Amino acid sequence: MVSQQASRLVAGSPAIAEAHFRAEASPYHPRLRPDGYLNLGTAENRLVQDLHEARVSRHRSLTGLTGLTGLTGPAGSAGPAGPREFTERDTRYAPLHGTPELRERIARLLTRVCRYPVDAENLVVVGGATAALDVIATALCDPGDAIVVPAPYYGAFDTDLAGRSGAWLLPAPSAASDGFRPSAEAVDRVIADARRDGVTVRAVALASPANPTGYVLSPADLRELSEVAAYHDVDVIADEIYAGSVFGPEPFTSLLTVAARPSRIHTVWGFAKDFGLPGFKVGVLHTRDPELRAAARALAYFAPVSTHTQAFLTDLLADPGWVDGFLAENRRRLGASYELAAALLDTFDVPYVPAGAGCSLWADLSGRLPHPGFAGERALHRTVLDRTHVSILPGEAFHSPEPGWFRVCHSLDAALVREALTRLGHLLTSPPPDSPPRNTSHRNGATHDDGRRRTSTVAEP
């Protein structure tokens, strides 16, 4: 018989993960498996693998080694000495919160990306951004404490922030009419209401840039949220995993640069999105609070990163010029991928929230629900998956305040995106069997300057 904690974790397994593994178990191939699944449900950046392969191939040719073992310079450093072989040091225990060399390289990178001086001593490197979120939530919260999160929010926050800490997540809903921009007023209201009910609120958590919407928070947005947190004397956890994946007109702003109390701001970053390396499972927590940093280093005991992986990433970050070029190309490719997906949705008259970052679009299918409410959203999700073999994720998985919104990921091969969204569009524009034609006259959404449909005015379900 398992513990209550284990039972709770099993019951709370993220829907995002379940959908991913179902789709990936039988993937589409135009010739070998034309009836396979097309996975637009997973925010996995598959656009930059060739850039990594070119770098790794260069190392292989210079060293004569096979596998990802071409690392440069002594102790993972780079320089005129050129590539080095896999060493004994790469096989031994290292500081569980990250080697000094890797933390220094990450600090140098984040200083450029965030435009804020990051001290390597304030970084804790652990096994993925999930682990980093778990670490900071566990360090901040006792079981039964609350974390307020602007909604819709990344669905795995439920497990990442609350699975082990025992905290409760309280959604602060934003409005479709405002593009689901995270609302400081809603956060303020939810904190005040929770405290009136006797709930201890320890933190506000948000993804910046936002997931699932791809909204890039402005300095004013971030300042308002940090001021609300300061007023209520709570910490802020900012998941900045898409910091280097902004392709829209609004540049990335780190919360650290605008917060009145930087010591109460704890940011998370990782290699999964900006570098397209989710399988490496490397996340980074930044905190300036000495007590929390000590607690996070202790909790890193349970989620360390292998020394070999750290050595590889230390080398990857060795040349700032190469890194900056890589990130620029990543942003260009993500922007092109977004434009393709947006154009396909426009073709089939599917409204969406304009995105400026990340791997996904937040699409409005509320006019296609077979019946009202989230039950109708679940029914449409099943229909899409069963009839088209296209995996997109329903808004309920992201605590959407309104039914009918779906996250559609686009950061994969253009041919797959085109095939998937064409299948989806044909399904959505075909009337259901034995039903009258659909009336969509109410769906007059705002438009881009070029006339493209953006987010719609959502009718009551």
How does pLDDT run along the chain (461 residues), one tens digit per residue? 889 888 877 877 666 677 788 888 999 999 999 999 999 999 999 999 999 987 766 555 544 444 444 333 333 334 333 445 678 888 889 999 999 999 999 999 999 999 999 999 999 999 999 999 999 999 999 999 999 999 999 999 999 999 999 999 999 999 999 999 999 999 999 999 999 999 999 999 999 999 999 999 999 999 999 999 999 999 999 999 999 999 999 999 999 999 989 999 999 999 999 999 999 999 999 999 999 999 999 999 999 999 999 999 999 999 999 999 999 999 999 999 999 999 999 999 999 999 999 999 999 999 999 999 999 999 999 999 999 999 999 999 999 999 999 999 999 999 999 999 999 999 999 876 555 444 433 333 433 333 334 443 332 23
Claim: this prediction has a pTM higher than 0.85:
yes
* Cβ pair 429, 420 in contact under 8 A: no
Residue 4, both tokens: 């209550």
Instruction: Give the chain's end-to-end CA distance (angstroms, integer).
Output: 43
C-alpha dist (Å) from residue 64 to 69, 166, 381, 419: 10, 50, 49, 40
Query: Rounded to whole angstroms, how far apart are CA atoms 267 and 132?
Result: 9
Q: Own/partner pairs for 139-143, CB < 8 Å, 24+ apart? A: 139/292, 139/295, 139/296, 139/299, 140/165, 140/202, 140/203, 140/235, 140/237, 140/266, 140/292, 141/165, 141/166, 141/167, 141/202, 141/203, 142/166, 142/200, 143/167
